Structure 1
Amino acid sequence: MNKELIINVTSNEITIALFEDKQLVELNKEKCKTGFAVGDIYLGKVKKIMPGLNAAFVNVGYEKDAFIHYLDLGPQFTTQQKLVNILTNNKKIPNFETMRLDKAMGKNGKISGFIASGQSILVQIAKEAISTKGPRLTCDMSLAGRNVVLIPFSNKVSISQKIRSAEERKRLKRIASEVLPNNYGVIIRTAAMGQQDEEIKHDILSLIERWKKVISGVRNSTAPALILNEENRTTTIIRDLLNGSFSSICIDDQTVYEEVREYIRTIAPEKEKIVKLYKGNVPIFDNFDVSKQIMSLFSKYVSLKKGAYLIIEHTEALHVVDVNSGNRAKVDNDQEQTAMDVNLAAAAEIARQLRLRDMGGIIVIDFIDLHKSENRTALVEKMREMMANDRAKHTILPLSKFGLMQITRQRVRPETHIDMRETCPACHGTGLVTPAALLDTQIEKQIAYYAKEKKLDYIKLRVNPVVAAFLTKGVFSLRLRWMLKYRCAIRIVKNTTTGIIETRYFNRKDEELF
């Protein structure tokens, strides 16, 4: 699979488009300097304990208080809190590696027994603010690198289940054990498979240095305060996806280009040459056909082959996808086979849409009814196959007796939304337009004003083609009657971009009249 990354940089945001075999599959938008991104670490202040929810609200500096549940405190919260108390009391920074870890917290405790209002706690953003909710927090810290995820307050080495070779798992565990100090654990990612020993060790040691910066940052901060920024969205995507199948990374901004090159030089020097600076006169998204694909993919209706289509609706609680056969049902005779073909095509497109729009939470799909059990099973397997490359955690349930498929997909950021609507040129968004019967009266009043009051002997009207036809219809047209009545030359110019009730007036020098 050939992958390309197209990055468009503006003053307000960075937009990152991921292509797989020339098809747009992910679109990420990162607002410049907005903060509160997944992975950011903050020193927060507890605002309110909610015993009924076994949770608390924490002030991390966001406009809405963030939320943390008891289960998100993590097994070593008490040890972490001891460290925070020492640091916030301006004492000497302790040696983290010699700290004694407390007994792991149970899963049935009460949050009120561990934190109190006004207390400072070290937290990490687990989910960005979505809709009316503030960020979701965790105290179970983790720092992600290209090959490993560092877990402070742990001594465990875990390995990705996708690495199946017993020999490779043994090698990776040995590498991590050789370099890890006490009180540090790691999760070895799939990307580490086949990597050089030194590269993995370097990744672990660089993450340990980042954690030490967190410790020193807490000592010099007062809650609420940002302690450590997660890498920006661009480098995060590159970190998670960069592999041998990447053919190019094209960027239209010199600064971001240099940042990405420097980052890739650090994690994969042999890949540095695939980073290219775009200098074309045409906008980068237009040049690489990104804009066209965005316009066709983010609408409510998504077309499939041979007339079939999807309807995608969003609600506060869930997302609904309806699969329609369209004209296919009128052409094909075998109803079951037609339904199966449309459903299989829909499954592939829906899997793509989930990634593209970053739709999370509950997704309900209304497939076309299938009567054969083997077809129903094959459809579920097809959906699982299509979503195998989705980096977000997800669960796919079998079809219900009503033909509905339910999917839960991890949601850590707001859904990507491209507004496909424009302000109506006729009513300018008010929903009110002038009745057509009064249109000629309004135009005549303006012509009378310019001819009598301004003493103009020539007026050019720029109007919608429909209005132009109305004004010039017949031998004795409105235009001719007005010319005779006001002794003024009137020219009608058709303009397709002009609203149906919009009229613009110009003099002989083509200067607009107001």
Structure 2
Amino acid sequence: MSTEILVNIGPQETRVALVEGGSAQEVHMQRASRHGLTGNIYKGVVQRVLPGMQAAFVEIGLERTAFLHVNDMVVAAAAHSASPPLITQLLREGEKVLVQIVKDPIGSKGARLSSLLSIPSRYLVLLPHEAHVGVSARLEDEAERTRLKGILDELQQRLAPRFGVIARTAADGVGAEALEADLNFLLRLWSDVATQTKSAPPGTLVHGDLPLSMRILRDLLGTHVERVRIDSAEECVRLREFAQTFIPHAAPLVELYEGAAPIFDLYGVEDDISRALDRRVELKSGGHLIIDQTEAMTTIDVNTGAYIGHRNLEETVLKTNLEAAQAIARQLRLRNLGGIIIIDFIDMKSEDHRGQVLRALERSLAADHARTQIHPFSPLGLVEMTRKRTRESLGHILCEPCPACSGRGTIKTVETVAHEIAREVQRAARQFEAKGFLVLAAPHVVQKLVEEQPAGLTALEATLNRPIRLQSEAGYTQESFDVVPL
């Protein structure tokens, strides 16, 4: 399967698309006004300690204070005991702490922090507070794992005995010389961070992660990527220089895109982004998915739709569910949906069919860079899974709550608003000694009151013994209205 990385550079926005087999699988965005913060290291100050939650709120200079749990602290991790120490034994209000963002602020929630710092490079991850050597679980070849572990053990003992070192997936097949150079780079970087930390005031950034275009090269550019196309000549030069320094074998893959069409029009990436904001996802068979993202979880409903099959109901259901499993895996990556995910596949009585669908979902998620965990079908026929969430979903980045419905997804009917207006007029009549009332509302609401409910309006005026005047306001939403005593 061919794989490309497309990089679109705008005046205030950088977008990156990972394209596999001719379709976008992942989309990453970074805006000048809204940088992703995961991986940034801050010198913070403890604002409030919460013994009941075994956590603390830490001020790091963002709009909202960030959250640090005891399980994400160095001392707690080093204790190796069944229960971590009390947060009150580790932190006190006003104390300065060096922390790293492990989860971006999402919605009304502040950033999630850890004092278990990690600094990644191309092949390795440096752990300044943990003397541990490990290899990424994604490297499954035991011989390669053993080789890397042996190299890292020697390098750690010789160069960084107080630090931890982990081999990333990109270290597969990399020689000892390149790994040593990578470790030396990380040690120099950490030395610079430690120096800055001493003089930095609380609530300031002491180490920021790479810009998105470079970070994507570092994290996604594996041996399977055939080329990286970028539509900015200036940024293309910077990326080539970065690749030559840190990923020499990949430098020839970086090329300038000079096509007439916008780069995200290739492979229909722009259309994929637009469709990723819809609730409904069409399947080629005629079935469809309904995806609803809420604060607590994401739910996905699978429907046969117009697909009626060719043989029998069970085969129709199986085919739709198998296609849905592949589509769901792609949508999770494309939309970057994380946290708890509940999938309601079409009911299947056959355990063999259920097993086929679960295996199809697992295979489709194998290429996902985010960690996922899938559970078997529940007694209600639902599949529960989790996907690690470290940054905001595509929908949260590109959209905001609807001003008409405040994010509910529905609005009150015109009839409901008309009845609310009547009740509000009655409430105002009891509260004010007015000669009459002026009702300001959306044009179609006023039309409803005048044309379809004139008897009700006349009866209300008779009951109150005061006139009610209606006035259309084009700027009002369907649910908005005002009652003004005259």
Provide the TM-score with structure 1 as the length reference. 0.74
Aligned CA distance change for structure 1 residues 422 and 22 (closer, same or farther; 3 Å): farther
Match of 2:242 in 1: 263
The CA distance in 2 between the partners of 1:215 and 1:116, in whole Å, is: 22
Aligned CA distance change for structure 1 residues 387 and 432 (closer, same or farther; 3 Å): farther
Match of 1:68 in 2: 68
**What does residue range 24-173 of structure 1 map to in structure 2 within 5 Å?**
24-32=24-32, 34-35=34-35, 37-75=37-75, 107-173=83-149
Q: Select between 349-358 and 319-328 the one with higher mean Cα deviation.
A: 319-328
In the TM superposition, residue 203 of structure 1 has moved relative to its aligned partner by: 0.9
In the TM superposition, residue 379 of structure 1 has moved relative to its aligned partner by: 1.0
The CA distance in 2 between the partners of 1:225 and 1:397, in whole Å, is: 41
**What does residue range 42-441 of structure 1 map to in structure 2 within 5 Å?**
42-75=42-75, 107-180=83-156, 181-329=160-308, 331-417=309-395, 418-419=398-399, 432=443
Is 2:276–2:335's contact at 8 Å kept on the other side of the alignment?
no
Is 2:38–2:103's contact at 8 Å kept on the other side of the alignment?
yes
User: For residues 306-361 of structure 1, what are the alpha-carbon distances to aligned partners after superposition, in whole Å with 9 as ceiling and x for unaligned?
Assistant: 211111111111111111101113x5341011000000000000000000000011
The CA distance in 1 between the partners of 2:31 and 2:219, in whole Å, is: 20
The CA distance in 1 between the partners of 2:400 and 2:339, in whole Å, is: 23
Give RMSD over aligned pairs.
2.5
> What secondary structure does 2:376 align onto?
coil
Aligned CA distance change for structure 1 residues 374 and 136 (closer, same or farther; 3 Å): same
The CA distance in 2 between the partners of 1:219 and 1:400, in whole Å, is: 53
The CA distance in 1 between the partners of 2:401 and 2:34, in whole Å, is: 26
Aligned CA distance change for structure 1 residues 306 and 104 (closer, same or farther; 3 Å): closer
Aligned CA distance change for structure 1 residues 423 and 287 (closer, same or farther; 3 Å): farther
Larger Rg: 1
Aligned CA distance change for structure 1 residues 423 and 273 (closer, same or farther; 3 Å): farther
In the TM superposition, residue 163 of structure 1 has moved relative to its aligned partner by: 3.4
Aligned CA distance change for structure 1 residues 6 and 141 (closer, same or farther; 3 Å): same
Is 2:15–2:30's contact at 8 Å kept on the other side of the alignment?
yes
Is 2:36–2:391's contact at 8 Å kept on the other side of the alignment?
no
AA aligned opposite 2:294: T
Aligned CA distance change for structure 1 residues 118 and 371 (closer, same or farther; 3 Å): same
> What secondary structure does 2:302 align onto?
strand
In the TM superposition, residue 44 of structure 1 has moved relative to its aligned partner by: 0.3
User: For residues 38-61 of structure 1, what are the alpha-carbon distances to aligned partners after superposition, in whole Å with 9 as ceiling and x for unaligned?
Assistant: 110000011001111110000000
Match of 1:466 in 2: none
The CA distance in 1 between the partners of 2:52 and 2:10, in whole Å, is: 45
> What secondary structure does 2:285 align onto?
helix
Is 1:76–1:153's contact at 8 Å kept on the other side of the alignment?
no
The CA distance in 2 between the partners of 1:295 and 1:56, in whole Å, is: 39
The CA distance in 2 between the partners of 1:208 and 1:420, in whole Å, is: 42
The CA distance in 2 between the partners of 1:374 and 1:52, in whole Å, is: 47
The CA distance in 2 between the partners of 1:363 and 1:325, in whole Å, is: 20
Is 2:74–2:129's contact at 8 Å kept on the other side of the alignment?
no
User: For residues 277-300 of structure 1, what are the alpha-carbon distances to aligned partners after superposition, in whole Å with 9 as ceiling and x for unaligned?
Assistant: 223343222245321232334311
The CA distance in 1 between the partners of 2:74 and 2:82, in whole Å, is: 9
> What secondary structure does 2:386 align onto?
strand
AA aligned opposite 2:341: I
Is 1:36–1:135's contact at 8 Å kept on the other side of the alignment?
no
Is 2:23–2:267's contact at 8 Å kept on the other side of the alignment?
no
> What secondary structure does 1:257 align onto?
helix
Q: Does residue 21 of structure 2 align to residue 21 of structure 1? A: yes
> What secondary structure does 1:307 align onto?
coil
The CA distance in 2 between the partners of 1:9 and 1:232, in whole Å, is: 12
Query: Which segments of 5 or more consecutive residues in structure 2 lack a partner in the other structure?
Result: 405-440, 448-486
The CA distance in 2 between the partners of 1:256 and 1:62, in whole Å, is: 29
Is 2:76–2:85's contact at 8 Å kept on the other side of the alignment?
no
In the TM superposition, residue 399 of structure 1 has moved relative to its aligned partner by: 1.1
The CA distance in 2 between the partners of 1:63 and 1:182, in whole Å, is: 38
The CA distance in 2 between the partners of 1:254 and 1:51, in whole Å, is: 54
Is 2:39–2:208's contact at 8 Å kept on the other side of the alignment?
yes
In the TM superposition, residue 34 of structure 1 has moved relative to its aligned partner by: 3.9
User: For residues 44-97 of structure 1, what are the alpha-carbon distances to aligned partners after superposition, in whole Å with 9 as ceiling and x for unaligned?
Assistant: 0110011111100000000100000011112478xxxxxxxxxxxxxxxxxxxx
Aligned CA distance change for structure 1 residues 222 and 343 (closer, same or farther; 3 Å): same
The CA distance in 2 between the partners of 1:423 and 1:55, in whole Å, is: 35
Is 1:158–1:188's contact at 8 Å kept on the other side of the alignment?
yes
